[in-house]
Chain A
Amino acid sequence: MSTQEETPLKVVPVRHYWTWVGAAVTVLLVSMVVHTLLSKIPSGTYSCASTHPFRHCTPRMVWRFGWTVVGHWFTSHEILKGLQITIEATVLAMVIGIVLGLLIAVMRLSKNRILSSPAWAYTWFFRGTPVYVQILVWFNIAALYSNFRLGVPYSSWDFVHFSANSLSPLTVGILALGLNEGAYMSEIARSGLISVDEGQIEAATSIGMTRAQTLRYVILPQAMRVIIPPTGNEVISMLKTTSLLSAIGITELLGAAENISATNYEVMQLLITASLWYLIMTTILSIGQFYLERHFAKGALRTQPLTPLQRTRADIRGVLSKFRTHPDVPKTRARTT
């Protein structure tokens, strides 16, 4: 049998022509979006230059989206102060929510009905009423209870005694958001805890670990991988939910933007300013969440997902390789025998 000459096969990647068409249409649409974002409209006033014998007037054009106004207020003191309050409220409400959520979730999974039923009732009540209503009720709680005290129940010994209205609107707002968030977090935490295989609990019990030790050393570390992505989602959602606090007079980001637009009537422009800040904060939080998830996935995945930076570098290398003079020939040769 004669052996044939080994000719390297010409390897060409599959051409996806319809993908190219789709890509072209997408590029066109994106360019149209950018074009309209930067478009201008006549403001209704005219600038006239008098050149004898005629007066030549041209209409004054302004940005359709009012980018000048947006730029002016974007870094203004009022907006930045509002942003600070928004971030404060988000962080504090989420801390309260996560701590409460974990506690309620563990109570829910307890074998003791006296612990698990109230935990279910808490989740049912705080998920079952709108968060806006909860904020209004806590703000006006003095209509039901004018004083609060922390002390021995059913007796008159108390350690702390305060009137309902001595809590500032921001404090009650954060409390309301935190309590509401606790109910949603308890469901997320519970889903993480029950995602751990039952065999793990059996194995832990068989080597003599108590339920508390099992929870701390076996279940929780594995549950974190399921809890983190929805929690990151909740933090991002809470950032926007804090805008409801403007209804009880708190000048957080949206409230500050509304106060400004109430005086200059540039409603759209100020809403865009606030929205841009919400988008920036959400982007930062999303990036943070990505790295956090990567950290918790270390034991579970063979290869780590690429970071956005690594992906961009890989894409650039891929594009550049097409322009190289000697393209990489595939190392494997086709076998012809």
Chain B
Amino acid sequence: MDSIRGDFMQRNTRIRQFLVVAGAASLMLATTVAAGAASTKGTYSAVDAKLVPAAYKSGTIQVATDATYAPDESVNASGTMIGFDVDLIHAVATTLGVKVNENNVTFDDIIAGIKAGKYVIGNSSFTDTLAREKQVNFVDYFQAGEGVYAKSSSTLKFTGFKSFCGVTVAVETGTTEQSDATAASKSCPSGKKVDVIPFPTQTEANTAVRSGRAQFGFLDSQIADYVVSTSKGVFKSVGSAVNVAPYGIATPKTTAGSGLAKAIEAAVKTLIANGTYAAILNKWGVSAGALPLSKITVNGATS
């Protein structure tokens, strides 16, 4: 009797053992699959890594960012650079198998720094424009418009560039918003010109709106949304975004720089294909600006 029971028990135990192992394995697989889908890290791709020019394969690539533009790039309380641009460039670096080093600098120094050879990549929410493409290459990877915010107590509305006439607008030096706001002044009646105040960093521009020095803050649309949502009711969005244009990652206008641009383009396409791109955008709440695969290109500006 014992031996029969023993046999039966043995078979049951083995079945149970098998079920437990199978269950654990499938759980692990499910977790890895799930983790892979939500990962914002990127994985190495030998195909893309082959496109990296020899000059950049070894050593560390210097990246320049103006980290006063949350949620794209900002510095957290412990001094680390965080943001969707930051995560994206790290994912691109992992895909291409290169090392990058972040440099926090003022926005209008970045293109000059790339031209002077100080930095190789400019990753700072650059709007890809034809004028800028004369200085550097751009890999289009995102799109954003220009948005306006004002103090909650303001009665001014933004319905287009005409709304800027006779108003003080705070912008960051060197941005497309600075040139667009200054250009808007030309179509304003005389005596009601746009007073554009450029500030070295976006933080100072926001302070100027907060203190009432400027009535409007004019900056990239998802940044405007972020500033409003984290301002604890001090600011509000006015009007909708204008001039939707692609963002570009900047590389030097040399042969090696153009090669690197092609490599970054391939890497971004890989990140879209394996879901990392969507995961990063989702994490920072900027999915509205996702660029479709067909629009990921080098130097794709139309204005």
Instruction: List residues of chain A with CB under 8 Å of any chain B CB.
Output: 136, 139-143, 146, 164-165, 169, 247-249, 258-259, 261-263, 265, 267
Contact = CB atoms under 8 A, between A and B. Distances in A.
Given A139-B208, A165-B212, A262-B173, A247 B200 contact: yes
Given A262-B108, A262-B178, A141 B197 contact: no
Given A249-B197, A249-B199, A140 B207 contact: yes
A249 B198 contact: yes
B115 interface: yes
Q: Top 7 nearest A-B pairs by Cβ distance?
A: A249-B197, A140-B211, A143-B211, A267-B112, A142-B211, A142-B212, A262-B174
A263 B178 CA distance: 11
Contacts of A164: 211-212
Given A258-B173, A262-B108, A265-B112, A140 B200 contact: no
Interface in B171-221: 173-174, 178-179, 196-200, 204, 207-208, 210-213
A308 B105 CA distance: 44
A164 B211 CA distance: 9
Interface in B147-180: 173-174, 178-179
Contacts of B200: 247
A165 B108 contact: no
A140 B213 contact: yes
Interface residues of B, number: 22
B210 A136 contact: no
B249 to A, nearest CB: 18
Contacts of B112: 261, 265, 267
A21 to B, nearest CB: 38
Given A140-B207, A169-B197, A265 B115 contact: yes
A247 to B, nearest CB: 6
B238 interface: no
Contacts of B115: 265
B271 to A, nearest CB: 30
A248 B197 contact: yes
Contacts of B108: 258, 262
18 contacts: A136-B207, A139-B211, A140-B210, A142-B211, A143-B210, A165-B211, A247-B200, A249-B196, A249-B198, A258-B173, A259-B198, A261-B112, A262-B173, A262-B178, A263-B179, A265-B115, A265-B135, A267-B112
SS of A interface (majority):
helix
Contacts of A143: 207, 210-212
Given A169-B197, A258-B108, A265-B135, A136 B213 contact: no
A264 to B, nearest CB: 10
Nearest to A263: B179
Nearest to A246: B200
Given A143-B207, A258-B173, A165 B199 contact: no
B199 A247 contact: yes
Most buried by B among A136, A249, A259, A267: A249
B111 interface: yes
A169 B135 CA distance: 33
B103 to A, nearest CB: 17
Given A165-B212, A262-B174, A267-B109, 7 more contacts: A136-B204, A140-B207, A140-B210, A259-B198, A265-B112, A265-B115, A265-B135
Contacts of B197: 169, 248-249
Contacts of A265: 111-112, 115, 135
B220 to A, nearest CB: 17
Contacts of A141: 211
A146 B109 CA distance: 34
A262 B178 CA distance: 10
A242 to B, nearest CB: 16
A169 to B, nearest CB: 7
Contacts of B109: 267
Contacts of A249: 196-199
Interface in B251-295: none
A50 B197 CA distance: 51
B204 A247 contact: yes
Contacts of A261: 112
A142 B214 CA distance: 11
Contacts of A263: 179
B199 A140 contact: no
A140 B208 contact: yes
Contacts of B212: 142-143, 146, 164-165
Nearest to B109: A267
Contacts of A136: 204, 207
Given A169-B197, A248-B197, A139 B173 contact: no
A243 to B, nearest CB: 12
Contacts of A139: 208, 211, 213
